[in-house]
Amino acid sequence: MRVVVIDYNGGNLASAAQAAKRAAAQLGLEAEILISRRERDILTADRLILPGQGAFADCAHGLELDDVRALLEQGTQNGTPFLGICVGMQLMAEYGLEHGKTPGLGWIKGHIAPMTEAEKAGLRLPHMGWNELDFTLGRHPLTEGLEPGNHGYFVHSYALQDYDPADIIATANYGMTVPAIVARGRRCGTQFHVEKSQEVGLTILRNFLTWKPD
C-alpha cells in the first residue's frame, strides 16, 4: 500500500506520516508512507492524507502549488480514499472566512466560519484540548471500534457551518455543535488531530487504511 501525505507547505506533515506508519504497522500492512506533492505519487497512491495546521486561507493557497488541488480532484475521482485532518478537513468545504473569503475544494456543503456561538457562551478560543465525540454506532466504517464519548484532540477557532447533516459522521460540543468527522463518498475528514488523539486517532487511521468505500 502506498499512502501519500500531501506536501503543500502545511503543518503536521511529519506527525501525520508517523501516525499513518504506526497504524499500518498495527494492521500488519506493508505500507510505503510518502510526504509528497508530485503528480506521479498522488495519482498512484492507494490513500491520500491532507493534514492541516494554521489559517484556512494560507492552506488553501498551498493547494495551488504544483496543481495539488487539481491532482487531489483527479485522484479522488479515480477512486483513491482521502482523509483531511483539521484544516485539511476544513478545506473540503465550499469556502472559508479566515483571513478573507477563500474557496475550498467544494467537496461537502458548508463553509468554515468563526465559532461565535462558543465565544458568546463564554468559552475560550481556540477550542483546544480533548473533547468527546458523539456519533451513532455503525453509522460509518471510520468509527468502527470506537464508542460514543471517546475523545479527540482539537485545536481550532473556526468550524464547519451551514453543513449538510448527511455528511456529518460525528460531532463534539463546545458551546455549539462542532462537526468532528465528515464523509461524503470516498472523501472524509476529522476536525480533530488524529495524529495527536492517541488510540482514538490510531483507530480512525487503521479504519481509513482498510476502508473500501463504494
Catalytic residues: 86, 193, 195
Query: What phi-psi label fits residue 75: left (phi over 0), alpha (psi between -120 and 50 degrees) or beta?
Result: alpha
Does residue 57 contact residue 104 with C-beta atoms inside 8 Å?
Answer: no
**Cα 195 to chain center, whole Å?**
11
Does residue 33 contact residue 77 with C-beta atoms inside 8 Å?
Answer: no
Amino acid identity of residue 161, one-letter, is: Q
Cis amide bond preceding 114, omega within 30: no
User: In 85-214, which ranges are continuous DSSP H helix?
Assistant: 87-90, 116-120, 198-210
Please provide residue 23's backbone torsions phi and psi, each rounded to the nearest 5 degrees. -65, -40
Amino acid identity of residue 52, one-letter, is: G
